[in-house]
Amino acid sequence: MRSWTRTVRRAAVLAAAVALTATPAMAASSSPSPSPSGGSGGLSGSGSGAAPGTSFLTAGKMESDASTTATASTGEYMYWSFPALAGEDVSAKVTLTLPGGRTAASTWRVDVFDGIRRHQPCATGHPQKTAQQNETDVTLDCGPRTIRPWSEAWSADPLPGLYYVRVAATDIAEKDVGLKLNVKLELSAKGGGDIGPDAGQDDALKAPLMPITKGGTVLQPGQAAETRKVKLDGFDSGDDAWLSGSTGRWVWTTAGGIVAMLLGVGGYMFARHPRRWFR
């Protein structure tokens, strides 16, 4: 019995010693190795913005009017986030410095998403370009529509809040995946302040959309069309003859009223005593 107890104690002590010696090795092996580029996932950034992330959740935070540079690997998704206010016209300009030694052409694209990850179409700019094998620089830009303070339920208008910028390669050769490249992102915001449903056109239409010109008249060089005084033939010509102009309108209105009254009385008598009409 005593020998069995001693054997159990020795086994427990031996197991504890093995665990103590293995713990530092396991901790060293479980600690992540530093990325050679200085960021997680091979992405690093510098400037006024943070390093980009590889998803919406890990997007680098930036301001609406700032710029940043980053180093990434070809084939990775790059995400940044920035706030946008109502009335602003935001735009994202991306400059890619591609690595040398590429085997084929590659296509790159920049996209803008709102806070609920709806893709916002680019109203201005060239969001997608193809870089040939010998090209080293690619410039992309995208400017979505003006940020609106409100929107209908069925509309997909851009609303104020958080926005995302994504830069990625849509077509790339398999052998070129993993090559290092430099990315420069420039965010700009123009305008600002709350706007009305008319998209902030001074909240009023102060001038006609098209000048009112007289048909058939050719303007001479340097001559401006008269848009203040409009004269329509047949109405404001000053012709007040009988049955024309303002007099004619009164006469025809009175005559129409009399005819309508007679028809009403006749219809009532016909409906009240229909037999008198067919005796």
Q: What is the pLDDT of residues 94-121, one digit of tens each?
A: 999 999 889 999 999 999 999 999 999 9
Q: Tell me if 188 sits within 8 A of 65, measured CB to CB.
A: yes
Residue-level pLDDT at 188: 93
Q: What is the pLDDT of residue 154?
A: 80
Q: 107 near 171, Cβ under 8 Å?
A: yes
pLDDT of residue 32: 32
Looking at residue 11, its pLDDT comes to 59
Are 147 and 87 in contact, with CB atoms under 8 Å apart?
A: yes
- pLDDT per residue over 144-188, tens digit each? 999 988 888 788 889 999 999 999 999 999 999 999 999 999 999
* Residue of higher predicted confidence among 273 and 112: 112
Burial category of 96 from C-beta neighbours within 10 Å (exposed 0-12, middle 13-18, buried 19 and up): buried
Instruction: State CA 111 to chain mean position distance.
Output: 9
Kindly indicate the confidence band of residue 196, based on its pLDDT and cuts at 50, 70 and 90: low
Least confident of 16-20, 90-94, 209-213, 239-243: 16-20
51 vs 2, which has greater pLDDT? 51
Domain annotation for the chain: domains and CATH numbers? 40-191 (2.60.120)
CA nearest neighbour of 249 among 260, 259, 239: 239
Looking from the CA of 73 toward its CB, the CA atoms found within 13 Å total 17
Q: What is the pLDDT of residues 122-144, one digit of tens each?
A: 999 999 999 999 999 999 999 99
Picking from 93, 49, 86, 84, the residue whose alpha carbon sits closest to that of residue 64 is 84
Closest by Cα among 155, 157, 166, 140 to 82: 166
Kindly tell me if the per-residue pLDDT of 194 is higher than 60: no
Average pLDDT over residues 202-214: 56
Measuring CA to CA, which residue among 44, 79, 73 is closest to residue 61?
79
pTM of the model: 0.56
Burial of 203-239, coded b for 16+ CB within 10 Å and e otherwise, reads: eeeeeeeeeeeeeeeeeeeeeeeeeeeeeeeeeeeee
Instruction: Quote the pLDDT of residue 273.
Output: 76
88 or 7: whose pLDDT is higher?
A: 88
pLDDT in tens, 38-95: 334 456 655 445 789 999 999 999 998 899 999 999 989 999 999 999 889 999 999 9
